[in-house]
Structure 1
């Protein structure tokens, strides 16, 4: 079994400081190691090695690169699919899953073997969950837009009330903006 990294044993506040240092392009790994070791020495704790910091930085850079790549791919495909930018990755995953389900159904229909009932059931459940997730996302987006309209109406009518707007005009503005 692999030995636990000394970085993983750091207290949360010191780990956060290390992460901040590693994100700062002006700070080298050697400087980050020295600064963290100085803090650890003040607290009477064992130091971390340069190689442990290097391994940790490399792992974090890999994870960061994968996250950045997934965001870029999502942004590209969401733009092509015409969806709104909110929840890009989730919407992209829904679309990819739809395509995978469609491919699976096509393979099952083209096969000379009859489709296994379990496979059909699993596909049906996956499609149902996928559509439910899409509906939830759509409802959430609608709610967010509604709340934004209500906030805008409140701010506008409050400002206009201060300027002496009539109640009839306020009601008219509310009907236009939020349908009330």
Structure 2
């Protein structure tokens, strides 16, 4: 029987976006019991005029909640790992972070290829390719952000140096002292 449903989308996947978002929010919130959430979602399905066979079952909502919790757990673990590595790398260039992400992606690809032999399921190379493209875009955005931040700091330093120069001249400092002060603010050796 399992082979008959393989590849078929679940009832939750077929729900209209507003109803699925309400289900997701209820599961994330955790303040409402699943049985109450099930009643609420089924009432929304009925109110939307969907056929009765689209109503969710207790087992179906439980499977979906379990799946969402597994995804959430993976995301939380990945965030923790990322925080550890980000703290370790500190303010090193973003290229170091990218190298780490690429190594993690290689590791996941290797695991997927190994699991392909064990489970008979193909590795999701498309997902890995999309992830690598996302990494490339993130790196590009990080580099653009880094460049813009440097430009802003340089402009700020120039403004501060000019303001300091005016104050120093008004205070009667020598031109050498003013030039030294300006170089220090601009970070010029």
TM-score by length of 1: 0.54
| 5+ long unaligned stretches in structure 2 | 108-135, 167-184
Preserved contact between residue 74 and residue 89 of structure 1 (Cα < 8 Å): no
Per-residue CA distance 1:82-117 (angstroms, 9 max, x = gap): 346x89974631465799xxxxxxxxxxxxxxxxxx
Which structure is higher in helix share? 2
* 1:139 and 2:147 are equivalent in the alignment: no
Aligned to 2:11: 6
| 5+ long unaligned stretches in structure 1 | 100-131, 158-167
Per-residue CA distance 1:25-57 (angstroms, 9 max, x = gap): 211111111101111111222311111111111
- Pick aligned residue for 1:58 from 33, 50, 66: 66
Offset of 1:80 from its aligned partner? 1.5
The CA distance in 2 between the partners of 1:44 and 1:87, in whole Å, is 52
The CA distance in 1 between the partners of 2:24 and 2:33, in whole Å, is 12
Aligned to 1:123: none
Aligned-CA RMSD value: 4.1
The CA distance in 2 between the partners of 1:8 and 1:87, in whole Å, is 38
Aligned with 2:82: secondary structure? helix
Q: Which 4+ residue blocks in structure 1 deviate beyond 2 angstroms?
A: 81-84, 86-92, 94-99, 132-141, 146-150
TM-score by length of 2: 0.52
